[in-house]
Chain A
């Protein structure tokens, strides 16, 4: 586990066997079934996650699923979810994939790459405008 910033409230204590909050009784890997790769579509670490209308029904989900649905109230990336929960990004990807498959989350993928491999000129223009306006 990576060293966590103490006391900043952004890291739930996922590794502590449920001593902190919400009654964790199994390691997070038990929730993922040991999976660190999503079986579904490719999900890059920067993919953005938002909650769907079905997210309101997430109250009955297990703690880590529920927490992710709550985090996704505002757009958040897979890598931020992993870091916030203190789990490797591969684990976050699996949990997000499960929730997306179940309809709780929408996954916003990066734009299709051009033949040069990166985003196309329209998106780069917008990025440039946004950065220049800062």
Chain B
């Protein structure tokens, strides 16, 4: 079998960043504006063992279903390829996040200030797992009405968590957000493992 671990010499190295946030906050827009490949969806199978029984609703005999997930790709250099995954919005799909989140560079949590509650599950998720993340306020109308301190308070952000303003439709804006995330992740590697 020909498996090559990504820190050997001959390596092609896959990396990934998660894009999270509530429904309709711009996850798909951000993934697509940054991706060099046409928009693609992937399907992930979900078995009934992975989800709450009540989720099966009126079809209790149904054992599996699939969820769709956006992803995109950025070829960074000759050997680094970065994948962006838009996480499914609904909390019942969080089991997928664990597989996706394993080994990730970090996450961009998108926020619509008109519906801040929607991003709390994502923030909680990444905070609890001590994964690097940045909070990116997507530029919906009215998002400039609140200064950063007010937003930080409303989201109860940890002091070291970067907060950026962005427009998910603009690739250069998304790129700046990604760079902020990688800088944050890199800074955290200098900190001894936190327990």
Residues of A within 8 A of B (CB): 1-3, 5, 8, 10, 36, 40-41, 44-48, 50, 52, 75, 77, 79-80, 82-84, 87-90, 100-101, 103, 105-121, 123-132, 134
The distance from the CB of B191 to the nearest CB of chain A, in whole angstroms, is 8
The distance from the CB of B133 to the nearest CB of chain A, in whole angstroms, is 11
Quick one: given A83-B42, A90-B44, are A132 and B13 in contact (CB under 8 Å)?
Answer: no
Whole-angstrom CA separation of A100 from B4 in the bound complex: 11
Interface string of B150-184 (1 = CB under 8 A from A): 00000000000000000000000001001100110
Please tell me which one of the listed residues B76, B99, B185 contacts residue A118 in the complex, with CB atoms under 8 A apart: B185
Within B130-149, the residues touching A (CB, 8 Å) are 130-132
Whole-angstrom CA separation of A90 from B40 in the bound complex: 16
Please tell me which one of the listed residues A105, A107, A117, A132 contacts residue B179 in the complex, with CB atoms under 8 A apart: A132
Contact-residue bracket for chain B: 35 or more
Please tell me which one of the listed residues A45, A90, A115, A123 contacts residue B15 in the complex, with CB atoms under 8 A apart: A123
Whole-angstrom CA separation of A73 from B116 in the bound complex: 44
Residues of B within 8 A of A (CB): 1-7, 11-16, 37-45, 66, 68, 71, 73-74, 76-77, 80-83, 99-100, 102-106, 129-132, 175, 178-179, 182-183, 185-186, 188-191, 193-194
A-B contact sample (11 more), CB < 8 A, given A106-B4, A121-B190, A123-B80? A88-B45, A89-B42, A105-B2, A108-B11, A110-B16, A112-B6, A113-B102, A118-B104, A121-B186, A127-B80, A131-B74
